[in-house]
Amino acid sequence: MFRIMRNLEQLKAGLKDLNQRKFKSIDVKETQAREKLDYIQNLLQSDPMNNHLFKLEKEAREEHLKAELGIKLVHSSWAKPLEPFLEGG
């Protein structure tokens, strides 16, 4: 039993490290994309006829949606296999 616990602790440490290295930046990218989109939309409110701002808003919206989708994929791909374990099953 001690070996199993030790192996699980090592696995947990490895998974935490992987999460920090690979997936931490996804949340940051989504936040930055949202802030950029908000900024452009505020500019559009003051100049609603500016076609250049419309193009920038479209690009920013697509960038934000991609980042948001990345977060959802990461959470769903990790959460589904771990649900029974997390629920105690």
Report the sign of the C-alpha dihedral through residues 61, 62, 67, 68, in that order. positive
For 23, 33, 38, 80, the CA distances from 75, given in Å and listed in that order, are 10, 19, 24, 8
At residue 89 the predicted structure's pLDDT band, cuts being 50, 70 and 90, is: very low
Structure tokens at 39: 């900024």
Note the pTM of the prediction, 2 decimals. Answer: 0.62
pLDDT digits (tens, 9 = 90+) for 49-76: 999 999 999 999 999 999 998 888 777 7
pLDDT reported for residue 82? 57
pLDDT reported for residue 28? 86
64, 29 contact by CB (below 8 A): no
